[in-house]
Structure 1
Amino acid sequence: MMDRRTFLRSYSLMVAALSSGPTWLSTAATRQAVRITEGPGGHWFGYYDKWQVDPSGRYALGCKVTFEDRSPRDSDRLEIGLIDLQEGNRWEKIGESRAWGWQQSCMLQWIPGSAGEVIWNDREDETYVSRIYQLRSGQTRTLPQPVYALSPDGSFAVGTAFNRIQNLRPGYGYAGIPDPYREQKAPGEIGLYTMDLRTGRTNQLLNLADLARIPHSGTDVSDNWHWLNHMLVSPDSRRLLFLHRWRPEILENQLMARTGFVTRMITVDTTGKDLYVADPSGNSSHFVWRDSQHIFVWTRPEGREAGFWLIEDKTGEMERIGAEAMDRNGHNTYVPHTNQEWVLNDTYPDKERLITLYLYHIPSKRKIILGKFYSPTRFFGEWRCDLHPRCDQQGRRVFFDSTHEGSRQMYFLDISDIVGT
C-alpha cells in the first residue's frame, strides 16, 4: 500500500495539475476511481486495444503475479482471472500463462462477438500457443499459434513471432523460447500470419525478408535487423494493420533498446495482397482504426508536426486531430457508441510522475481530464505501468491499470454522464 507521505504528495500534485490549464480547452471532471483488484500481488490487464469486459458488462478479465519489479523469466506463471463486477469484484482463476510481458500481458481478451469465450497466449514446451476458454463449460482448447489481435467478426487472429520481438524489442515479446533466427537480419521464414480461431489453420501472409526489401524514403534498409509489432484488424475484418520496425544493430541494454529503431505503418488485405505503406515517415506509434478506411495514429509525418493524425488508408490523405489538447503521445481509442466523436487517451508520466487520463470531444475540441495518477519511480522501463485505458463494450466505463496506490492494480471510472451512452 502507498505510505501517507507518498499519498499526500500524489494527491497535492493531482489537485494542482487539475486546477491549471486553459479552461476553454481543458475541463476537470475528477471522480472516484473504483479499484476492482486487491493485493497481495499485482493485477493488470495489458494493452489498450482489446476487450477487457464482456458484452454484458458484468465480467472483466485480469492478470495476477506475485512480483512487480523485474523482467519475467521462463518459469514465471501468470494467473488469468475473471472478475465478477456485480459480485463484489470476486476473482475467479480460469487459467495460467507462461507467455507474457508487462506491457501487453498475454494478449488476454474476449473474442469479439462472443458472450462466453476468452483467449490468451501460453507456452507448451518449446512452442507458443493460444488458449480459448469457454465460460459456460469451463473447458479450454488450444490453438497452435499465439495471437496478437483478433478480427472484429471473431473469425480469425493475426500474429507474428513473439521471440523475434523479444530479441529486438525486449518487454513486448515473451521469455522462454529463443529467437531461432537471431543471427539473421530479415529471415524469410517468419513475418505476418493469420489463424482461423475455429480450426487453428494458419496462413503465412508476409515475411520479413520481403518487407526488408521495400525501400524507406528511397533508401535500401535490408541490411538492418527487422521485426513486426502492434497489429490490428480493420472494423470490416478485411485489412490488417501492423508496424514494421528495424534497427541497425542489436542493443543488449534493454533501456537503450526502447529507442533507435525506425517504424513504418503498413496495411495489407487478409490474403497478403494489396500492401500499402500508410505512414512512410518512420515515426508511427500508437494507433487505432476509426473505420475501415481511416487510421488514427500518433506520428510525425514528413514536413509536419508530431501529433495525432487521421490517415486515410490507400490514399495518404491526412488531418491533424486535437492539435492543442492532444499534443503528447498516448494510448488512443474511440469511445464505443459515440459515432467516433469521443476519444479516450492517456499520457506518459510528466516530470512530477503524473499520468493524465482524459477524454477529448472532436467536434467541440473539448478536453476533459478524468484524473491524474502518480507513478512511483520504481515502476520504470520494461515494468512500467502505463494506464492503457480501455472502455467497456457499452462505452459507459473506462478501465485502466495504475500504480498510484503503491502497487499495480485495476480501476474503473464511470463516464456515461459525459459521453451520453
Structure 2
Amino acid sequence: MTASPHRTVDPLPLHPRSVRRLCPIRRLGTGERHHFFGYYNKSVWDRTGRYVLGNEVAMRDAPLVPELLAAVGYFDVQENESFFPIDTTTAWNWQMGCQLQWLDGEAGRKVIYNTRTGDLSARYPGFGATVFDIDSGKKTALCMPVYVCSPDSRYALCVDYRRLYVTHETIGYSEHGGPFALQLAPADDGIYRLDLATGEPALIVSYDDLRRFHHVESMERAIHWVSHIEINPASSRVLFLHRWTERTADETCFLHRLITMNPDGSDMRLLECSDHPLPQLADDFDPSAVGTFDYEKSEYQISHPLWQDDSHIVVWGPHAGSIHYHLYEDSDNGRVEVIGRELLTENGHMSFSPVDTRWLVSDTYPDSQTNTRILFLYDMHEGLRYEIGEFYAPPDLKKENRCDLHPRWNRDGLAVCIDSVHEGARQMYVIDVSQITGAG
C-alpha cells in the first residue's frame, strides 16, 4: 500500500487496542487530469458495483471562481477503470464536489448534481440541479441546487449555497460581485424540500424558525445557517447541524446544534447544543492566529453526523462535559453512548458499513508535525481500531482547497473509496478492506 513518501518521523506507538494493518490500495483512472468525489456521506458505487462516480478537473487546486469547470462522470471498473464524463458543472467546491449522487430509488442509472443555470428568476438565482439518466442520456433540470436526496429518491433537501459561501466558504458556491450581505435569520429562507417528481419546492424550516427553537442569547446578533443535512435509510427522518456566529471569518467562533425532524419540518428534536462563551469575539482577537485545522479539533465542535440506521446517529461532538464519537438515539429520551472512548479521540469523517454496523470507517485530520492523516476501521464488537492507511497532505492546501480523505463505503462493505493528494495529484483511491471486515 502507498503510504506517505514524505515521512520525516517514525510513527507514534499504537494504543494497545489498535492494530496497524495496511490494506491493498489502487488509484482509479490514469492520465494527468485530477479526480475527486467530495464528501463522505454517500456511496460512489452504483448498485451493481461496476460504476464509481467522480469529478474530473484540470488542476490539483485553484480558487473557486464561478467559471471554474469540473467534468461530472463515472469510472467503469469493467472498462479499465476509465473515466466517462457525462456533463460539466461550475457549481461545485473542493469539499463536496457538486453533490453528485446516485438516485437509488429510481430504475436504471440516474444521478443528480448541482449546476449553474443562468436563471436569475430562480429562488436561488443562477443555481439549480440536473438529473441525468446515464442509460438514455436524458437530462432534467431542477429549480434548486440539492444538498442531499432521500434514499427512496422521492425528494431532495436544498439550501442556498450563496449563503454558505458567506458563512462557511469551504462548502459554498461563489458568484460574481459576491459575497453579498445577508439577513441574519430570515423567515423566508432555510431548508427547502424539493419534490423530485414534480420539481416543486417547499420551505419546511426557516432560519427564523431555528432561531426561535430553544432560543439562546448568543443567537441574537449572529448569522444562521445549516449544514450536514442527512436523511435516514427509511427516508422518514432528517438530521442537520444548525450553526450560528457573529464572526464568520473565524470558525472557532461557530456555535452548533444537532437537530432532527420529519421530512416536512415537523417534530423537531434538539439532540445537542454546544453554546458556550466566546472570548474570540473580543476586538483584539486575531483570527489569522488560528491554525488551518484548529476548528476541527475544538472541544466544542459538533460535526460530521450521519445515520447509523433509522433511529441512531453517530457524530463527533461534546456531551456531558466531554467530546467524543457519540451515538445518539433519535428519540425523546435522548440516550447517548460514547464510542471508542480511548481510541477515537479526534474529529473525523465517520460512517458505518451498509451491511454490518459492527464496522465504522473514519479518518483524522493532518498531524501538525508530519502532515499525515490516518485512515482506520473501528470494530464496534471488539473495541479494536485498525489503522489501514496513512496519507500525506501538503501543508500548502488550506481550508477552501484542502483534500480530506472522506472515506466512503462500497455497497457490500468490502472496500472504501477516498480522495487523496499523497502522490502529488488529487485522485480517488479504492482500499480493499475485506480481509478485516469479512463481509460478503
TM-score, length of structure 2 as denominator length: 0.87
Given residue 398 of structure 1, which amino acid in structure 2 is its aligned partner?
V
What SS does structure 1 have at the residue aligned with 2:210?
A: helix
Q: How many angstroms apart in 2 are the aligned matches of 1:190 and 1:180?
A: 17
Out of 235, 259, 274, the position equivalent to 1:281 is: 274
Give, in angstroms, the shift of residue 320 of structure 1. 0.1
Equivalence for 2:379:
361
Deviates more, 1:353-362 or 1:373-382: 373-382
Query: Deviations along 1:358-400, whole A, 9 cap, x unmatched?
Result: 1000110011111101111222221110000001112111100
Give, in angstroms, the shift of residue 259 of structure 1. 3.0
Equivalence for 2:115:
122
Quick check: 1:149 aligned with 2:148?
A: yes
Quick check: 1:310 aligned with 2:310?
A: no
Q: How many angstroms apart in 2 are the aligned matches of 1:180 and 1:368?
A: 43
Equivalence for 1:249:
247
Give, in angstroms, the shift of residue 8 of structure 1. 4.0
Q: How many angstroms apart in 2 are the aligned matches of 1:185 and 1:178?
A: 20
Give, in angstroms, the shift of residue 176 of structure 1. 2.0
Q: Give 1:8-407 correspondences, 5 Å limit.
A: 8-10=5-7, 16-17=10-11, 20-22=13-15, 24-114=16-106, 115-125=108-118, 126-176=125-175, 182-216=181-215, 218-219=216-217, 221-251=219-249, 256=250, 258-282=251-275, 283-301=301-319, 303-314=320-331, 315-338=333-356, 340-351=357-368, 352-407=370-425
Cα gap change, 1:197 to 1:67, in 2 (>3 Å): same
Q: Could you tell me which runs of 5 or more consecutive residues in structure 2 were left unpaired when the two chains were aligned.
A: 119-124, 276-300
Contact 1:389 1:399 in 2 (8 A): yes
What SS does structure 2 have at the residue aligned with 1:157?
A: strand
Query: Deviations along 1:64-106, whole A, 9 cap, x unmatched?
Result: 1122333210111111121111211111110111111110011
Deviates more, 1:359-368 or 1:236-245: 236-245
Contact 2:304 2:348 in 1 (8 A): yes
What SS does structure 2 have at the residue aligned with 1:167?
A: helix
Deviates more, 1:44-53 or 1:114-123: 114-123
Given residue 382 of structure 1, which amino acid in structure 2 is its aligned partner?
E
Deviates more, 1:260-269 or 1:178-187: 178-187
Deviates more, 1:290-299 or 1:172-181: 172-181
Out of 413, 417, 420, the position equivalent to 2:435 is: 417
Q: Could you tell me which runs of 5 or more consecutive residues in structure 1 were left unpaired when the two chains were aligned.
A: none
Given residue 351 of structure 2, which amino acid in structure 1 is its aligned partner?
T
Give, in angstroms, the shift of residue 250 of structure 1. 4.0
Give, in angstroms, the shift of residue 294 of structure 1. 1.2
Contact 2:204 2:264 in 1 (8 A): yes
Q: How many angstroms apart in 2 are the aligned matches of 1:140 and 1:201?
A: 17
Cα gap change, 1:204 to 1:8, in 2 (>3 Å): closer
What SS does structure 2 have at the residue aligned with 1:9?
A: coil
Contact 1:397 1:413 in 2 (8 A): yes
Contact 1:164 1:182 in 2 (8 A): no
What SS does structure 2 have at the residue aligned with 1:92?
A: strand
Contact 1:42 1:66 in 2 (8 A): yes
Given residue 271 of structure 2, which amino acid in structure 1 is its aligned partner?
A
How many positions carry a matched residue from both structures? Answer: 404
